[in-house]
Amino acid sequence: MDKYLYMNKRLVYVIVCNKAVESSQRLKPLATFTRIQTI
């Protein structure tokens, strides 16, 4: 049971990391776009 819980936490951590990377990659072009707009 403890092993399962550990695996669950690992899975959640991986999902959170993937979401963070995904959102940062989506925000990066948006940030450059707004920077171009302000110039």
Number of compact structural domains in the chain: 1
Low-confidence residues in the chain, pLDDT < 70: 1, 38-39
pLDDT of residue 16: 92
User: Positive or negative CA dihedral for 26, 30, 35, 36?
Assistant: positive
Instruction: Indicate whether 5 belongs to any domain.
Output: yes
The amino acid at 12: V
Instruction: Indicate whether 35 belongs to any domain.
Output: no
Instruction: Indicate whether 37 belongs to any domain.
Output: no
pLDDT of residue 39: 56
Instruction: Indicate whether 23 belongs to any domain.
Output: yes
Overall pTM surpassing 0.75 (yes/no)? no
Instruction: Indicate whether 36 belongs to any domain.
Output: no
pLDDT of residue 1: 66
Instruction: Indicate whether 13 belongs to any domain.
Output: yes
Report d(CA 6, CA 21) in Å as an integer. Answer: 23
pLDDT of residue 14: 92
Report d(CA 11, CA 1) in Å as an integer. Answer: 15
